[in-house]
Amino acid sequence: MTRKRALITGITGQDGSYLAELLLSQGSEVHGTVRRVALEDPQHRLWRIRHILDRVHLHAASLESYASLFRVVEEVRPDECYHLAAQSFVSYSFDDEFSTINMNINGTHYLLSALKEMAPKCRFYFAATSEMFGNAAESPQNERTPFHPRSPYGISKVAGYHLTCNYREAYGIFACNGILFNHESERRGFEFVTRKVSSGVARIKSGKEEKLILGNLDAVRDWGYSPDYVRAMWLMLQQPEPDDFVVATGEAHSVRELVQAAFRVVDLDWRDCVVVDEKLYRPSEISALRGDSSKARRVLGWKPTLTFDELVTRMVEWDLRREREESDRGRDRQAQAFASE
pLDDT band at 95 (very low <50, low <70, confident <90, very high): low
Residue 316 in this model has a pLDDT that exceeds 50: yes
pLDDT band at 299 (very low <50, low <70, confident <90, very high): very high
- Greatest alpha-carbon pair distance for the chain in Å reads 72
Residue 212 in this model has a pLDDT that exceeds 50: yes
Residue 135, CA atoms < 13 Å, CB-side half-sphere: 6
Residue 207 in this model has a pLDDT that exceeds 50: yes
Span 216-244, average pLDDT: 97
Q: Of all residues in the chain, what percent carry a pLDDT higher than 70?
A: 91
Q: What is the pLDDT of residues 12-21, one digit of tens each?
A: 999 999 999 9
Q: Which domains does the chain have, with CATH numbers?
A: 5-186+222-247 (3.40.50.720), 193-219+252-283+307-340 (3.90.25.10)
In angstroms, the CA 177 to CA 174 distance is 10
Residue 215, pLDDT score: 93
Q: Of all residues in the chain, what percent carry a pLDDT higher than 90?
A: 83
Span 231-252, average pLDDT: 98
Which whole-number Å values give the CA distances from 184 to 27, 89, 227, 229, 230, in the listed order? Answer: 26, 13, 9, 9, 11
Residue 97 in this model has a pLDDT that exceeds 90: no
Residue 185 in this model has a pLDDT that exceeds 70: yes
Of 13-22, 98-107, 332-341, which range is least confident?
Answer: 332-341
Span 130-139, average pLDDT: 93
Residue 94, pLDDT score: 52
pLDDT band at 93 (very low <50, low <70, confident <90, very high): very low
Burial environment of residue 94 by CB neighbours within 10 A (0 to 12, 13 to 18, 19 or more):
middle
Give the list of residues 6+ apart from residue 56 with CB closer than 8 angstroms, or none.
Answer: 11, 20, 24, 30, 31, 32, 49
The helix-helix angle for 193-205 and 308-340 (nearest 10°) equals 50
pLDDT band at 332 (very low <50, low <70, confident <90, very high): low
Residue 326 in this model has a pLDDT that exceeds 60: yes
Cα torsion through 60, 63, 64, 69, rounded to 10: 60
| Catalytic residue IDs | 129, 131, 153
Residue 116 in this model has a pLDDT that exceeds 90: yes
Looking at per-residue pLDDT, the higher value among 206 and 282 belongs to 206
What value does the mean pLDDT of the chain take? 92
Residue 137, pLDDT score: 87
Q: What's this model's pTM, rounded to 2 decimal places?
A: 0.92
Span 244-262, average pLDDT: 97
Residue 335, pLDDT score: 55
Span 159-173, average pLDDT: 98
Residue 17, pLDDT score: 98
Span 236-245, average pLDDT: 98
Residue 334 in this model has a pLDDT that exceeds 90: no
